Amino acid sequence: MHFQHPSVTPLQHSLVQHHLAGLRDSATPPAVFRQHVDCLASLLAAELTRDLPLQACTVQTPMESTAAFRLQGRVAIVPILRAGLGMTDAFLRLLPEAEVRHLGICRDESTALPVEYYQKLPASNPADVAILVDPMLATGGSILHAVQLLKRWGVPQIRFACLIAAPEGLQQLTSAHPDVRVFAASIDRQLNSRSYILPGLGDAGDRIFNTP
């Protein structure tokens, strides 16, 4: 199934293809799997942050003062527990001053619906940009729930980074929230009858944390 939408950016990069091969390979051990996740998350982070808002400033070099730019506003990195933790460090390396806001949302395997088990977003003072991170976008239920929580917090700009996405989940997300920009290393073929992504990579959380 092919999917295109103006808010969805699939990464085009030779290194993306290389690291995707490592993720998909069922023989890849957990330690190496985590390295592939980190490398792909770094590539996603670079692309997703390409056009974050900037503000002009002046800095003093060893030679003279010069015009420069710094990021404008507050950025929150929002991993969806638990698999999103595997992508967080890559984003923090590029955005070391970002705040990290965790959301615990899992999928009920019997219904494929999202179940919220942890969230500690403040009642006010929202970040200017929230970056949701989760390796997989399958049915879209967890991400839709996370976006609703962030919008309730009052975040004006939300971006989402994932390693692989199913067309069905992308359709749900872009239909409900066309203002959310999505960055994916791969858009896979489809979901199977159990709502797992094909060809996929298995359960990202289990493979990251070695909990088969």
Q: Which residues are the active-site residues?
A: 107, 111, 203, 206
Phi first, then psi: what are they for 75, rounded to 5°?
-115, 135
Q: Which string of b and e fits 74-90 if b means at least 16 CB within 10 Å?
A: ebbbbbbbbbbbbbbeb
Label each residue of the chain as H, E or C.
Answer: CCCCCCCEEECCCHHHHHHHHHHHCCCCCHHHHHHHHHHHHHHHHHHHCCCCCEEEEEEECCCCEEEEEEECCCEEEEEEECCCHHHHHHHHHHCCCCEECCEEEEECCCCCCEEEEEECCCCCCCCCEEEEECCEECCCHHHHHHHHHHHHHCCCEEEEEEEEECHHHHHHHHHHCCCCEEEEEEECCEECCCCCEECCCCCHHHHHHCCC
* Residue 57 and residue 71 in contact, taking contact as beta carbons nearer than 8 Å: no
